[in-house]
Amino acid sequence: MDIRDEYGDACELETARLRLRSIRHEDAEAIFEYASDPLVTQHLPWRTHQTVQDTRDYITSTLERQEWPDLAPWGIEHKIEGKLIGSCGFHHWSLEHARAEIGYVLARRYWGQGYMTEAVGAIIAYGFEAMSLNRIEALCRPLNVASARVLEKAGMRFEGVLRQYMFANGTHHDYKIYAILREDF
């Protein structure tokens, strides 16, 4: 199963307000706008971008991942503004176990407006309908209450805390794990 179309681009998904599409080199400024914001990146396992070159390097690695069976995230484009406002996608996909994990990030200006719940809902539907997944998981840090709300609104259930699960930015972090099963969808 592949999330790419016949041209090698991530299949586009659409919601009422968003278009989920491949990330492109010309998205560098829009991505840098949110990836350089310390409030946006405070709960993420990657470092805040310091320069636009950091963002260009991220885009290059994302485009390279599209060429492998690994999954690259979709860019989240605001339909009316025509601007990339975040990203969302699967990673750690296990074809054998029909399981994948969702990760996402959204520009601060768009927080609290339901955009990420909309994007995550589209990704979950795609995972069950097109990728034949049985289980979709997501992680968030315990203090990231807004992210936990997104996952709950998208129908995911809290399953527990993974203690000191990930080492990022010089320290080990606990993560809450959420999941939804095909039978729950």
Residue 104, domain extent: 13-134
Is residue 139 domain-resident? Answer: no
Alpha carbon distance 31, 178 (integer Å) = 26
Question: Helices (H), strands (E): how many in the chain?
Answer: 5, 8
State residue 2's pLDDT score.
42
pLDDT tens digits, one per residue of 48-76: 899 989 889 988 888 776 655 457 789 99
| Residue 10 pLDDT level (bands cut at 50, 70, 90) | low
Those residues whose C-beta lies under 8 Å from the C-beta of residue 69, and which sit 6 or more positions away, are 2
Note the pLDDT of residue 8.
46
In a domain, 69, yes or no: yes
In a domain, 161, yes or no: no
Instruction: Give me the number of domains the chain comprises.
Output: 1
| 179 within some domain | no
- Give the number of C-alpha atoms closer than 13 A to the C-alpha of residue 51, restricted to the C-beta side: 3
Q: What does the block give as tokens for 55?
A: 């963002």
57's CB contacts (< 8 A; 6+ apart) are none
CATH code of the domain in which 105 resides: 3.40.630.30
Flag whether 169 is in a domain.
Answer: no
User: How confident is the model at residue 66, as a pLDDT?
Assistant: 64
56 in any annotated domain:
yes
Residue 114 domain flag: yes
Asked if 177 and 160 count as a contact pair (C-beta separation under 8 A), the reply is: yes
Using alpha carbons, list the distances in angstroms from residue 137 to 116, 181, 183, 185: 15, 9, 14, 13
pLDDT at 42: 79
Evaluate if residue 6 carries a pLDDT over 50.
Answer: no
Domain membership of residue 121 (yes or no) is yes
